[in-house]
């Protein structure tokens, strides 16, 4: 199955650049005093990332508790109460209806889901979802299908480092005409998830679909949702293509249509900490994918000699410290009708309590650009990591010494598609690796498929990956001393 949320989809208007995600505190406003005191007690004994998240909670609690209750409006028994304006009465009816219709899914209710990811990470994503505890995971094109209850929807959004979105299937049927698509959209119980009080966005993608116009199909689904809600509740939702409350994806094939509810909102690779970027950055979920494909473990030394703004290494630190990738960001499912905020809060709190405070092995980042290192340090701070969690330094990869006797290099070096580089940079870097990095595994992602020739090294493996639209390869080299020893020494 292809990714229904692919960036080439047609939306109901031109897709703008998505705004950056905001931070989300880990405590609802109606938290009890006992929960607050327990959180305050735990915060005093923790440092680093966990304390960083919990200080956000305490700040929000103090802000909420300090707000005075609005004064009672004096009664006016001698004056007749004016009639409520029509639009206020309509809004009140909509809110009351939302409270009646919206309900949290039962634990026994099962959903079919699709987790999208960068092409090339499907197998790694399937393994990750299984480790998270999800069942019936099947790989597809640019993602994985799986099944679970609504708590699994939350769990996948909170813990998946590789997924781009978590989509919940709400309808699937044979469809070869626009009338089939419209009827499918009209039959969905949309009022369970949203109403006129919400804003909506619809996106459509297709593979070999007989439909004449994807734009028309997109408008058809949007209008069908609005028509049903108007018939049920007397009004329709507004359209917001930038920060909608609810996103719906329609995916068309040669003979079928599937409608999905997007539970993520903004793409999951937007963790909430990367605001400073160096040239040619790599997305966070692809960086996490490199860690998975390389086989890196938290007890191995890790070095990125072309670290840029630090994405790969900050992802590694979060993984090593067991920091959930979604801990600092909002999700679209929080704005759906029937959202159980207290239960979601409990899951987030449990995840926060499992965060570690110290690394088991050094993580080192180096770059020849002082601006890149400054950006990496700023991102590290926003990620809630202590200043010494990652060792940042300005330096030339061709002169950099290893921080340990063995370990891994994982890097996204500059290449011609992105930056202008020295003609013999990789040859000189490879010489440095041969001389000083015996026992290390070197993992390099590049759109230059001839990179091994430039380095005069034979890769142990090469894996196809996509960095955005760039067709890349992950080259894995094993630096074995005997293999690169001088010819006379081997004789």
Domain with residues 1-60+95-268+324-355, CATH architecture: 2-Layer Sandwich (3.30)
Start and end residues for every CATH 3.30.2130.30 domain found in the chain: 1-60+95-268+324-355
Start and end residues for every CATH 3.40.50.150 domain found in the chain: 284-321+356-490
Separation of alpha carbons 271 and 229, rounded Å: 33
Neighbouring residues of 32: CB distance < 8 A, sequence distance ≥ 6 = none
Separation of alpha carbons 224 and 335, rounded Å: 21
Give pLDDT, residue 484: 55
Structure tokens, 281: 């950055």
Helices (H), 327-382: 341-353, 370-382
Give pLDDT, residue 306: 96
Strands (E), 26-99: none
Low-confidence ranges of the chain (pLDDT < 70): 1-2, 5-102, 276-280, 415-421, 423, 481-491
Q: Give whole-number Cα distances, 391 to 50, 176, 282, 359, 387, in Å.
A: 20, 57, 20, 12, 8
Separation of alpha carbons 158 and 328, rounded Å: 9
Using CB atoms within 10 Å of the CB of residue 127, give its burial: 0 to 12 exposed, 13 to 18 middle, 19+ buried. Answer: middle
Give pLDDT, residue 55: 61
pLDDT digits (tens, 9 = 90+) for 281-308: 799 999 999 999 999 999 999 999 999 9
Three-state SS for 474?
strand
Using CB atoms within 10 Å of the CB of residue 36, give its burial: 0 to 12 exposed, 13 to 18 middle, 19+ buried. Answer: middle
Give pLDDT, residue 275: 81
Separation of alpha carbons 270 and 291, rounded Å: 18
DSSP structure string for 145-158: EEEE-HHHHHHHHH
Separation of alpha carbons 372 and 309, rounded Å: 5
DSSP structure string for 370-431: HHHHHHHHHHHHHTT--TTSSEEEE--TTTPPPSSSS-EEEE----TTT----TTHHHHHHH
Give pLDDT, residue 257: 96
354-382: b or e for each residue (b if 16 or more CB lie within 10 Å)?
A: ebeeebebebbbbbbbeebbbbbbbbbeb
Separation of alpha carbons 202 and 189, rounded Å: 16
Give pLDDT, residue 388: 95
For the segment(s) 284-321+356-490, the CATH number from 1.10.3210.10, 3.30.450.190, 3.40.50.150, 3.90.1150.10 is 3.40.50.150
Contact 467, 282 (CB under 8 A): yes
Phi, psi of 132 (to 5 degrees): -60, -25
């Amino acid at each position: 199955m292809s990714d229904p949320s692919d960036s080439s989809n047609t939306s109901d208007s031109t897709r703008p650049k998505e705004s950056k995600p905001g931070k989300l505190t880990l405590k609802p406003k109606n938290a009890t005093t006992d929960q607050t005191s327990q959180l305050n007690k735990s915060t005093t004994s923790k440092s680093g990332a966990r304390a960083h998240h919990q200080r956000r909670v305490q700040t929000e609690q103090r802000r909420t508790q300090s707000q005075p209750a609005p004064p009672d409006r004096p009664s006016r028994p001698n004056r007749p109460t004016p009639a409520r304006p029509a639009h206020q009465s309509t809004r009140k009816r909509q809110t009351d209806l939302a409270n009646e219709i919206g309900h949290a899914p039962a634990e026994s209710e099962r959903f079919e889901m699709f987790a999208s990811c960068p092409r090339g990470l499907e197998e790694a994503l399937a393994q990750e979802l299984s480790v998270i505890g999800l069942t019936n995971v099947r790989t597809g094109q640019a993602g994985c299908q799986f099944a679970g209850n609504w708590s699994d929807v939350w769990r996948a959004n909170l813990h998946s480092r590789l997924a781009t979105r978590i989509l919940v299937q709400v309808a699937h049927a044979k469809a070869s005409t626009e009338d089939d698509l419209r009827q499918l959209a009209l039959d969905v119980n949309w009022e369970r998830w949203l109403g006129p009080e919400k804003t909506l966005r619809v996106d459509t993608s297709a593979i070999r679909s007989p439909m004449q116009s994807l734009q028309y199909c997109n408008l058809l689904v949007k209008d069908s949702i609005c028509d049903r809600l108007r018939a049920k509740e007397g009004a329709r939702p507004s359209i917001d293509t930038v920060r909608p409350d609810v996103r719906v994806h329609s995916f068309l094939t040669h003979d079928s249509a599937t409608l999905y509810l997007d539970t993520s909102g903004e793409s999951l690779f937007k963790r909430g900490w990367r605001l400073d970027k160096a040239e040619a950055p790599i997305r966070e979920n692809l960086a996490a994918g490199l860690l998975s494909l390389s086989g890196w473990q938290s007890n191995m030394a890790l070095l990125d000699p072309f670290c840029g703004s630090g994405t790969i290494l900050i992802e590694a630190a979060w993984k090593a410290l067991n920091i959930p990738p979604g801990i600092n960001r909002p999700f679209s499912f929080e704005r759906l009708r029937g959202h159980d905020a207290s239960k979601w809060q409990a899951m987030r709190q449990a995840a926060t309590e499992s965060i570690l405070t110290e690394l088991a092995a050094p993580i080192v980042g180096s770059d020849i650009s002082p601006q890149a290192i400054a950006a990496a340090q700023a991102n590290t701070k926003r990620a809630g990591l202590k200043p010494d969690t990652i060792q940042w330094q300005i330096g030339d990869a061709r002169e950099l010494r290893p921080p340990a006797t063995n370990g891994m290099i994982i890097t996204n070096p500059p290449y011609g598609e992105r930056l202008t580089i020295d003609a013999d940079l990789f040859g000189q870097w490879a010489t440095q690796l041969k001389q000083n990095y015996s026992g290390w595994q070197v993992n390099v992602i590049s759109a230059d498929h001839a990179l091994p020739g430039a380095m005069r090294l034979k890769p142990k493996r090469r894996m196809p990956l996509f960095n955005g639209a760039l067709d890349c390869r992950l080259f894995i080299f094993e630096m074995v001393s005997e293999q690169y020893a001088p010819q006379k020494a081997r004789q």
